[in-house]
Amino acid sequence: MKRSATQHYEVVVAGAGPAGLHAARAAAQAGARVLVLDDNPLPGGQVWRQGPHHPPQKGLRAVQTALEAHPGVTVWSSARVVAPLPEGGLLVEAAEQGGIRVRYGQLILATGARERLLPFAGWTLPGVTGAGGLQALIKSGIPVRGERVVIAGSGPLLLAALATARAAGADVVAVVEQAPARAVARFAASLLATPAKLLQAAQLTRGFAATRYWTGSVVIEARGNGRVEAVTVRRGQRAVTLECDRVACGYGLVPNLTLAQALGCAVSERGAVAVDEAQRTSVDGVLAAGESTGVGGMELACIEGEIAGLMAGGAINNERDERNERVQRDLHGLRARRTRWQAFARRVETAFALGEAARTLPPADTLLCRCEDVTVGEVRAFADWRDAKLHTRCGMGACQGRICGTAASTYFGWQAAEPRPPFQPVRIGTLMAACEVDDAQIE
C-alpha cells in the first residue's frame, strides 16, 4: 500500500463560522495546536460570508487577526469531512491537500445550520432560492440590481435577506412572513430586552416603510416560462399574485447534524446536538457549539464557541491551578451571557414557529425530492422515511436528503435516517487515503 502520514492536531474545529472561529481562538490561547476545517473557500460562514463586493466584516477581521497571531493555528478552506475514522480520526478532502487523514485529541463541531426549504408548486424554476441562499448568491457576486424580488418564509433571516438584496440594488416587491401579526408584534416589543438586536433590526429595516410586509401569509406557487416570472401568495382566504424576477423562500434554519450523528452524538428532542453546560456532547472528546446545538444567532454562537474552545484547550493542556482559576472565572461570565442569548433564541423560536399554513402539503404533483424527481404524492403513500426512500429513491440524490428529508420531517414528522459516509461525492483518491498505511506502521 502507499505510505502516507496522518496529521495530528490537539484540537480540530469543524466549521469556520462565528462559533468555530471563536472556538479556535480560545483553544489556541490555551496553547493547543489547532486545525480549522471549512468547506467554503473563505472563512466566515454564512453570517460573515465574504465575496467580491463583501470584504471581511469587523467581527471576522478581529477573530482572524487573533488567530493569525498564534503560529499553532492552521486553517483549511475548501475542506470537508468525508467520514469519521476510528480512534479519533477524520477523513478529509481538501482542495490543496487532497484526501488526508486527521487525528484529533479534542474535536469541536461548529457545523452550523441549513435553511429549511419547503416545496411549493413551481419551486424548481430557475430564480427560486432560499432566503439565505439569496444572500449567499449576492455575496458571491451574482448581480441582482434592478430585479424584482419577493422574499418569503419565516424568521429574522427574511429581514437580513431584505437588507442584502436592497444594498445590492434589487427591488424588493414584498416580504412574506408566515407568522401571524400578533406574534411578530410581540417579538418586536421583546427586542427592548436586547438593545443590540434592537439596533440591528433598525439597521436592517431602514427605509422599510415603503415595502410590503405581509404577515400570516405563505407562497403557494411560482410561475414562469423557463424562469420565475410571478409568485402567488395566500393571505388568509385570498390569493394574491405578484410579478417578480426572483423568489427567495426559506422557513428558518435547522441544525446541521450530519457529522455529529455519524460520530454517535446524542440528539436532543429539539433536533439539535445535545450538549452539557461545558458544550460537551455525549461522545468523549467531542464538543459542539453554535447553530448545530440549536439555532440562536451569531452572539450565542460566538459565546458557545469560546466555551467549547476553553474546555478543549483545558482538556489538552491540563492547566495549572492558577490558570484553571482564571479559566473558571472566564467560563462563569460566558455562561451568564449564554443564558441571556438562549432566552432570546427561545423568543425567536416561539414567535416564528411554523403555523398550519406553512405545514400544509403542496399539491400531490409537486416535487419533494428534486434530485430524483419524486413527488409529494409518491412519498406520502409510505409510513416513514426509510420506506419512502426504498420505494422511490427519495433522498438518494446529490444532496443526500438534506433538503427533502427536512421537508418530509416538517410535513410528516418523520425522522431521517442517520447519515452514512461518504457524506458527499468525493474523489476515489480521497477514499483510498483512508486505507493508506502510515510510515510509522511500516517496519
% of the chain residues with pLDDT over 70: 95
In a domain, 325, yes or no: no
One domain, residues 273 and 243: no
pLDDT at 321: 46
The CATH number that applies at residue 158 is 3.50.50.60
In a domain, 348, yes or no: no
* Overall average pLDDT of the 162-179 stretch: 96
One domain, residues 305 and 394: no
One domain, residues 24 and 110: yes
CA distance 402 to 392: 16
Query: Is the CB of residue 131 less than 8 Å from the CB of residue 157?
Result: yes
Task: Give the pLDDT band (50/70/90) at residue 379.
Answer: very high
pLDDT at 440: 46
In a domain, 198, yes or no: yes
* Tens digits of residue pLDDT in 251-304: 999 999 999 999 999 999 889 999 999 999 999 999 999 999 999 999 999 999
- What residue has cell string 422557513? 251
pLDDT at 437: 58
The mean of the pLDDT values for the chain is 91
User: 263: helix, coil or strand?
Assistant: helix
* Tens digits of residue pLDDT in 303-344: 999 999 999 988 766 654 445 777 778 888 899 999 999 999
Cell representation of residue 418? 442517520
CA distance 10 to 32: 6
What range does the domain containing 190 cover? 117-249
One domain, residues 84 and 148: no
One domain, residues 301 and 372: no
In a domain, 146, yes or no: yes
pLDDT surpassing 80 at residue 439: no
Count of beta carbons in the 10 Å neighbourhood of residue 300:
26
- Based on DSSP, count helices (H) and strands (E) in the chain, helices before strands: 14, 19
Task: Give the pLDDT band (50/70/90) at residue 411.
Answer: very high
Number of structural domains (the chain) is 3
* Tens digits of residue pLDDT in 7-42: 999 999 999 999 999 999 999 998 899 999 999 999
pLDDT at 4: 55
One domain, residues 145 and 245: yes
One domain, residues 139 and 102: no
Among 262, 293, 318, residue at a domain's last position: 318
One domain, residues 126 and 101: no
Strand partners, 176: 152, 214
In a domain, 420, yes or no: no
One domain, residues 224 and 170: yes
In a domain, 354, yes or no: no
In a domain, 428, yes or no: no
- What residue has cell string 406520502? 380
One domain, residues 131 and 208: yes
Q: What phi, psi does 301 have (nearest 5°)? A: -60, -40
User: 420: helix, coil or strand?
Assistant: coil
Count of beta carbons in the 10 Å neighbourhood of residue 121:
17
Q: What phi, psi does 240 have (nearest 5°)? A: -120, 130
Strand partners, 89: 85, 103
In a domain, 350, yes or no: no
Task: Give the pLDDT band (50/70/90) at residue 61.
Answer: very high
One domain, residues 65 and 16: yes
One domain, residues 15 and 71: yes
Among 228, 249, 270, residue at a domain's last position: 249
pLDDT surpassing 50 at residue 423: yes
Rounded to two decimals, what is the model's pTM? Answer: 0.92
Among 226, 249, 272, residue at a domain's last position: 249
